[in-house]
Amino acid sequence: MWHISFVSVLYFCLLLIISHQTAISADIINQTCKKCADESIVFSYEFCSASLQEVPESNVTNLQGLGSIAIKLALDNATNTISIIEQLLTNKTLDPFALACLEDCSEHYSEAITTLKDSIKIFLEEDYDTARRLLTVVMTAVTTCEDCFKDKEGVVSPLENENYSLFQLSDIALCIVHLLSLVVRSYNQ
Ligand SMILES: *[C@@H]1O[C@H](CO)[C@@H](O)[C@H](O)[C@H]1NC(C)=O
Ligand SMILES: *[C@@H]1O[C@H](CO)[C@@H](O)[C@H](O)[C@H]1NC(C)=O
Ligand SMILES: *[C@@H]1O[C@H](CO)[C@@H](O)[C@H](O)[C@H]1NC(C)=O
Ligand SMILES: *[C@@H]1O[C@H](CO)[C@@H](O)[C@H](O)[C@H]1NC(C)=O
Ligand SMILES: *[C@@H]1O[C@H](CO)[C@@H](O)[C@H](O)[C@H]1NC(C)=O
């Protein structure tokens, strides 16, 4: 008899733990996004909260987990964008100037992918200063791509949304790495 109630108590505890975890994770996401948005005018709280919330809860129990998720989201996004660029490059109706920019962008996004892969490794090694430097390189690459389209009047970037996404995702990662480096510094003092 006690056996059954033991199992149900155990089950109840498990439910408590799970719902507690979910609350922690939504909380840490929103708090982190808020902190980052407070420090930068380009940083979008809504984008940050929505992007991080999409990832399964189990990973998001601390800032470090959140950081690696943000870098992985950025990497996935850059990878998607490369295939979008390849598709656009086959479009013969595009302005030749825009096509030339797309060729450049393809290189910049490839660089972003390589750099993001490096930054995941470096991030996991807790070398936060180098990780920040690499994430800045990613944001510069994305911006350089987008700037190309501005050099000719009347040309509209076909990668506006992609620029926005990858820039924001890298900015989220950058901010989390920054917050983590502050924690490390205060430990070392
Ligand atoms: C976190 O923010 C999102 C969107 O801003 C909101 O829907 C959600 O209720 C918030 N969660 C918590 C735990 O504050
Ligand atoms: C989440 O955690 C699981 C298991 O620990 C892992 O396989 C997966 O890659 C993680 N996802 C992200 C986005 O970090
Ligand atoms: C990632 O990239 C794709 C293609 O560029 C974009 O449509 C999508 O909204 C992005 N996803 C996120 C979570 O930002
Ligand atoms: C090619 O680009 C034009 C102008 O941006 C667009 O309207 C058209 O749908 C594209 N065609 C293909 C096959 O993607
Ligand atoms: C790219 O997107 C970011 C927001 O994520 C924005 O601040 C920036 O102005 C965009 N770059 C260009 C050149 O439009």
- pLDDT range class, residue 45, cuts 50, 70, 90: very high
pLDDT at 103 over 80: yes
49 lines ligand 1 (CB under 6 A): yes
pLDDT computed for residue 85 by the predictor: 97
pLDDT computed for residue 84 by the predictor: 97
Averaged pLDDT for residues 23-40: 87
pLDDT computed for residue 185 by the predictor: 73
Burial of 30 (0-12, 13-18, 19+ CB in 10 A): middle
pLDDT computed for residue 61 by the predictor: 76
**Interior/surface letters 36-75, b for 16+ CB within 10 angstroms, e for the rest:** bbeeeeebbeebbbebbeebeeeebeeeebbbebbbbbbb
- pLDDT range class, residue 5, cuts 50, 70, 90: low
Percent of the chain whose predicted confidence (pLDDT) is above 70: 83
94 lines ligand 4 (CB under 6 A): yes
Indicate the average pLDDT of the chain.
Answer: 88
CA distance 34 to 187: 24
pTM over 0.85: no
CA distance 70 to 173: 5
Averaged pLDDT for residues 140-169: 95
CA distance 89 to 71: 27
160 lines ligand 1 (CB under 6 A): no
pLDDT computed for residue 54 by the predictor: 85
pLDDT at 87 over 90: yes
pLDDT computed for residue 15 by the predictor: 53
84 lines ligand 3 (CB under 6 A): yes
pLDDT computed for residue 56 by the predictor: 74
pLDDT at 137 over 80: yes
Domain ranges of the chain: 2-188
Per CATH, the number for 2-188 is 1.20.140.40
151 Cα to the center of ligand 1, angstroms:
40
Ligand that lies nearest to the alpha carbon of residue 80, given by its number in the listed order: 3
Length of the chain, in residues: 189
Residues 6+ apart with CB under 8 A from 173: 67, 70, 71, 74, 119, 135
